[in-house]
Copies of this chain bind each other. A is one copy, B any other.
Amino acid sequence: MKKYNGYLLDLDGTIYKGKEPIPEAVAFIQKLHDQQIPYLFVTNNSTTSPEKVAVRIRDMGIPCEEKYVLTTSMAAASYITTNPYKQTAYIIGEDGLKEQIRSAGIQEDDEEPGFVVVGLDRQVTYDKLAKACLAVRNGAHFVSTNADNALPTEKGLMPGNGAITSIITVSTGVEPTFIGKPERIMIDQAVNMLGVSPENTVLIGDNYDTDILAGIQAGLDTIHVETGVTSSKEAALKSIPATYSISSLSEWNI
């Protein structure tokens, strides 16, 4: 086991399951905190604020501040500001996305925006999707927070942001730039925020197809933990496996 100087961590399935913290993960993060090893929680959730994420994690007994959280909404806003196109956006999304776009100084514009940004919006309508399609056809840069197709809820699997995004992709023929896992854009930003070199940073997650793949695509070492979506059997069958695969975070020595 290599010693890493920085840790990127997934949330659901890695740190908690639904509303229940995973005890081994709680103990592990407490150790990182005590030894002052930098860590950052990286989430594909675009609907909430980093502040609310931090509160939720702290309420589970896990040391966390707002600055230890990177959401796809933050990453999308940051991505836009580093691009040379008109800094206006038509947004399909909930408060978490709109707040981040706004606080990055990007004006909303539903007529001739520089960007169309799509995040999970449980109030999405035909009218919103039509505006997005027209703007993309008029040359707006098409950005989507993540490609998650299904959203687990108490009622069952609802349409995720990847499914909403597909309406615009299918209708216009234009593929979006996806910001979240498994793409590397958000992970590259996370490494920058952490302030540790990529060689000395490791990404920990339970879902091979989002977390681990994102780490691999960003050139990081990865730790697959079997407390969520992907079993260790499934993970071992992948053509590029995670650097390490463990049952729980109690097995990992920092």
A residues neighboring B (CB under 8 Å): 121-127, 129-130, 133-134, 137-138, 149-150, 155-160, 162-164, 166-173
Closest to A150 in B: B171
Q: Report which residue of A121, A126, A155, A172 has the largest number of chain B beta carbons within 10 angstroms of its beta carbon.
A: A126
**Tally of this chain's copies:** 2
Could you jot down 25 A-B contacts, CB within 8 Å?
A125-B125, A125-B126, A126-B159, A126-B164, A130-B158, A130-B159, A133-B150, A133-B157, A133-B163, A134-B156, A134-B157, A137-B157, A138-B156, A149-B170, A149-B171, A150-B172, A158-B171, A159-B168, A159-B171, A162-B170, A162-B171, A163-B168, A163-B171, A166-B166, A166-B167
Distance in Å: Cβ of A210 to nearest Cβ of chain B: 16
CA distance A134 to B137 in the complex (A): 31
Residue numbers in B under 8 Å from A170 (CB-CB): 149, 162-163, 166
Known: A123-B126, A126-B124. A133 touches B158 (CB 8 A): yes
A125's partner among B124, B138, B150 (CB-CB below 8 A) is B124
B133 close to A122 (CB less than 8 A): no
Distance in Å: Cβ of A177 to nearest Cβ of chain B: 18
